[in-house]
Amino acid sequence: MLGHLKPTTCGLPSVSQRAYKNYYCSICASLRKQNNVSYTFFINNELTLVLLALQPYIQAPLPTRDKPLQTRCPATGFTKKNPVTLHPAVDMAAQLSVLLGWLKVTDWAYDQPNFFKGLLRRHLHKKTSPLLDHLSLDFQQTIQHYLKLTQTHSPHFEQLCQQSGELSRQITLAIGAHASIAPHQLERIAQLFYHSGILILLTDHLLDLAKDIAKNQYNPIISSVKHQQIGWDEAYYTLRQQFNREKLKVRDLITQLLSEQVIHSNFSEALNASLRRMELQVKNAKPDFIGNQFLFEGEEVIVVKNDCDCDCDGCDCHCCNCSGCNCCDSDCCNLDCCECDGCECRKKKPK
């Protein structure tokens, strides 16, 4: 649950931009308060989205002064101040950001061990041990199962998907326990993040295929080619098909929760923007040795290549979503295909 579920904020309405940035900066401020400035490297975009999903249920205490609470930004040398929300749910998100960092480093240290990775893993494990003891038994068991699977040379991929989803679900429940939300509504949001967690895992393997081949690391696509004796195209598109289905599940859940007023439009816009960005990353990361389309028997052709053949070179914020449009005759960042509202990337030069 690291890095892939990240909206391109320049494509969001200004209200949603401010809401997302507020929680992002809030996690940063909490990490510094609970630890030190070096821990700001563990700021997690996915956990920012969890807080944004819980926005209607997070009642921040009123500040003791008239001005809104602010924090100095380390990214600008502490010269700029950004508004923040102080709340127990934010503090839990900050602690879980470090926990996810520990899980990631543990995975790295297993795949390619070295002294510094081992040292960092031990330091983060010591840091997160007090938190682990206070998590629910289900959450602790999920972490144990997830670590066991990620440290297996050839894990059962469906089990890995389930544990990735369950990890995301348990994280949402742990943060939501500090919000004023009804249990059944929290469970609905947690189910949304369950499918998002699966989607993150699928994205990770689709993006890293070429690197995993070069480094001889586990990837379900490689495993299918070796053990099921199928071609690269079929193995790749089987995973891509699973990615498409999980993405549709997430989008359907967003629509349902928004119509039932369980979530705010700020969150739905940010998560949909994250899905668009994720899909574009997957399309652009397809290795050259994989064909541009594949036909499963009895199904329509799956096309991974962008319909308009546009990779948005020159768009610094990577916010142009050209999937499914015929926009490359002149300028791929025109009003019809770009998700940025008033951002500078519209001024990029034509293809």
pLDDT in tens, 325-334: 333 333 333 3
Tell me how far CA of residue 208 lies from CA of 68, 89, 149, 164, 214, in angstroms.
Answer: 42, 33, 18, 17, 10
Alpha-carbon Rg for the chain in angstroms: 21
293 pairs with which residues across the strands? 303
Sign, CA dihedral 180-183-185-186, equals: positive
Of 172, 203, 150, which is closest to residue 44 (Cα–Cα)?
172
- Whether residue 323 has pLDDT greater than 60: no
Q: Which of 21-30, 143-152, 236-245, 257-266 has the lowest mean pLDDT?
A: 143-152
Residue 336 has a pLDDT of 39
Residue 152 has a pLDDT of 84
Type of residue found at 52: L
**Residue count (the chain):** 351
C-beta separation of 272 from 250 below 8 A: no
* Average pLDDT along the chain: 84
Residue 66 neighbours by CB under 8 Å, 6+ apart? none
The pTM (predicted TM-score) of the whole model is 0.84
Domains of the chain, CATH where assigned: 9-303 (1.10.600), 314-351 (no CATH)
C-beta separation of 234 from 294 below 8 A: yes
Query: Could you give the CA distance from residue 179 to residue 155 in angstroms, rounded to a whole number?
Result: 36
Mean pLDDT of 67-75: 84
- Between vectors from CA 172 to CA 38 and to CA 82, what angle results, nearest 5°? 45
Q: What are phi and psi of 127, to 5 degrees?
A: -70, -35
**Percent over 90 (pLDDT), the chain:** 64
Query: Could you give the CA distance from residue 141 to residue 50 in angstroms, rounded to a whole number?
Result: 21
Residue 339 has a pLDDT of 43
Q: Which of 90-104, 211-225, 299-313 has the lowest mean pLDDT?
A: 299-313
